[in-house]
């Protein structure tokens, strides 16, 4: 339904530094691309047919500032990545969807047609030949457009990606950049310097093999399906009240204090509990853990520059629990374990993790262990997955991605092929959250039942708080 009509190589508009960058944290990232989808409704003052020229010109300017994105990866000794800033450029695709309008895409669930709005990357070629940034502009008969962005995961994280998109959008609107706020820091040594010489004080379980599924898969449908579920502000507040009420009571009895659980901690814990219930097949002792990523820019001393344009998202995991514990104990148990994972990421943890990575002999094994079992990296037949990987996009300033076509109507992942992964995002209208989640087809209906059903249960009146 979506046809690519033109392909452009976009080079930086001015000469850029020809240097090689090496980052320890980027060694554990995949060479695959994160798929970002921006949706724009028709704009009365702009012609969608000429929009590609605006994007080409402004992207060329943006690549002069974010010059590493115009480079290429190369594989060096030990399977490690090195980023060569050789100005080979990004790619911009121009596409059409002639059969459907934006309204026909519903909630933009990241599968099927929606995935065609994201550039298709060929990973069967040498890594040195794969652009780090590929963008696809797709036009619809209604006059609306989508911008699908594919950014290489091991060169830039979500925080830096949002800053890049904001910069690019400002250039497209022909606005002046604030050279203090908008200029990126591309020096990877800013983060590498936190490496310490002793990692014994931290247990880096995030780099080890995650819990496996116990027993056989039986005859269940293990195809991966994707769904979008939603929480209103009132429902989010209700969940937080339930968990924090118990937290307050428990800490008061212990004569101690504890800050309230955050929105992400509560929602991630709630997802973990609902997914565990949906997957439960009578094995209460089935081990499970939750993984997530933490932006370390302000968690280390001195902090990284706000404009640090590399990858500063560190993986962390909860303690391993059982389905029985997650299901039978109050929601605060799962939420508390999420907090444990987040609070692990301190300056000392970052330094220790970097040292651990520096000493690692098999980088591919580390990558597989954390990202397992995505279809892009998993070796051999699918063996089941009892774990959950939850990523927060709640703080991403995606509405700044106005290229002159207005603010995005929607922003989210363009496709999801990894079982057991969830993205938590703000609704465009500001009322609550959207969660895009991928699970086995056999488990999705049960998950939705628990997700929407459990939140209706009144464990205690909110008025008591």
pLDDT band at 219 (very low <50, low <70, confident <90, very high): confident
Between CA 29 and CA 59 the distance in angstroms is 25
Mean pLDDT for all residues in the chain: 89
Contact 152, 84 (CB under 8 A): no
Give me the mean pLDDT over the 420-441 stretch.
Answer: 93
Contact 266, 439 (CB under 8 A): no
Instruction: Reply yes or no: is the peptide bond before residue 302 cis, omega within 30 of 0.
Output: yes
Give me the mean pLDDT over the 194-208 stretch.
Answer: 77
Question: Of 224, 296, 227, which is closest to residue 449 (Cα–Cα)?
Answer: 227
Q: What is the pLDDT of residue 365?
A: 76
Q: What is the pLDDT of residue 458?
A: 43
Between CA 401 and CA 405 the distance in angstroms is 9
Give me the mean pLDDT over the 2-7 stretch.
Answer: 95
Contact 387, 326 (CB under 8 A): no
Q: DSSP strand E in 251-331: where? A: 287-288, 290-295, 313-317, 321-322
> Bridge-partner residues for 411, per DSSP?
38
Which of the two residues, 104 and 365, has the higher pLDDT score? 104
Give me the mean pLDDT over the 265-288 stretch.
Answer: 96
Lowest mean pLDDT, pick from 67-81, 104-118, 159-173, 377-391: 377-391
pLDDT exceeds cutoff 50 at 377: no
Q: What are phi and psi of 48, to 5 degrees?
A: -65, -25
Alpha helices (H) along 329-461? 331-343, 347-359, 363-371, 441-454
Give me the mean pLDDT over the 218-242 stretch.
Answer: 93
Q: What is the pLDDT of residue 180?
A: 54
Domains, the chain, ordered by start: 2-192 (3.30.559.10), 205-395+416-464 (3.30.559.10)
């Amino acid at each position: 339904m979506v046809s690519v009509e033109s392909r452009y190589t976009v080079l930086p508009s001015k000469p850029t530094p020809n240097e090689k960058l090496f980052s320890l944290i980027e060694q554990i990232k995949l060479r695959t691309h994160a798929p970002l989808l921006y949706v724009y409704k028709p704009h009365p003052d702009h012609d969608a047919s000429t929009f590609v020229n605006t994007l080409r010109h402004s992207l060329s300017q943006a690549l002069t500032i974010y010059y590493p994105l115009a480079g290429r990866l190369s594989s060096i000794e030990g399977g490690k990545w090195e980023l060569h800033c050789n100005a080979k450029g990004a790619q911009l695709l121009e596409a059409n969807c002639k059969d459907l309008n934006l309204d026909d895409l519903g909630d933009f669930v990241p599968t099927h047609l929606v995935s065609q709005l994201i550039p298709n990357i060929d990973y069967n070629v040498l890594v040195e030949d794969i652009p780090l940034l590929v963008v696809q502009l797709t036009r619809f008969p209604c006059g609306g457009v989508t911008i699908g962005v594919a950014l290489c995961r091991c060169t830039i994280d979500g925080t830096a990606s949002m800053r890049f998109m904001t910069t690019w959008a400002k250039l497209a609107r022909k606005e002046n950049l604030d050279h203090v706020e908008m200029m990126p820091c591309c020096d990877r040594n800013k983060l590498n310097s936190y490496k310490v010489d002793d990692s014994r004080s931290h247990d880096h379980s995030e780099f080890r093999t995650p819990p496996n599924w116990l027993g056989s898969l039986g005859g269940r449908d293990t195809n991966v399906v994707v769904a979008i579920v939603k929480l209103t502000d009132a429902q989010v507040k209700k969940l937080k009240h339930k968990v924090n009420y118990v937290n307050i009571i428990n800490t008061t009895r212990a004569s101690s204090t504890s800050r309230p659980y955050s929105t992400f901690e509560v929602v991630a814990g709630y997802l973990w509990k609902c997914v565990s219930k949906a997957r439960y097949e009578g094995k209460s002792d089935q081990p499970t853990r939750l993984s997530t990523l933490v932006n370390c820019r302000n968690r280390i001393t001195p902090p990284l520059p706000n404009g640090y344009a590399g990858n500063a998202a560190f993986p962390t995991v909860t303690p391993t629990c059982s389905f029985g514990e997650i299901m039978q104990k109050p929601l605060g148990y799962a939420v508390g374990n999420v907090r444990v994972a987040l609070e692990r990421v301190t300056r000392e943890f970052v330094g220790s993790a970097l040292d651990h990575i520096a000493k690692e002999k098999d980088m591919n094994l580390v990558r597989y262990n954390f990202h397992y079992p995505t279809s892009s990296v998993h070796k051999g037949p699918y063996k089941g997955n009892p774990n959950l990987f939850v990523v927060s996009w709640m703080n991403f300033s995606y509405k700044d991605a106005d290229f002159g076509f207005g603010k995005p109507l929607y922003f989210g992942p363009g496709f999801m092929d990894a079982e057991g992964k969830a993205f938590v995002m703000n609704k465009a209208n500001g009322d609550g959250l959207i969660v895009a989640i991928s699970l086995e087809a056999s488990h999705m209906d049960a998950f939705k039942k628990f997700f929407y059903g459990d939140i209706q249960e009144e464990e205690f009146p909110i008025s008591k708080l």
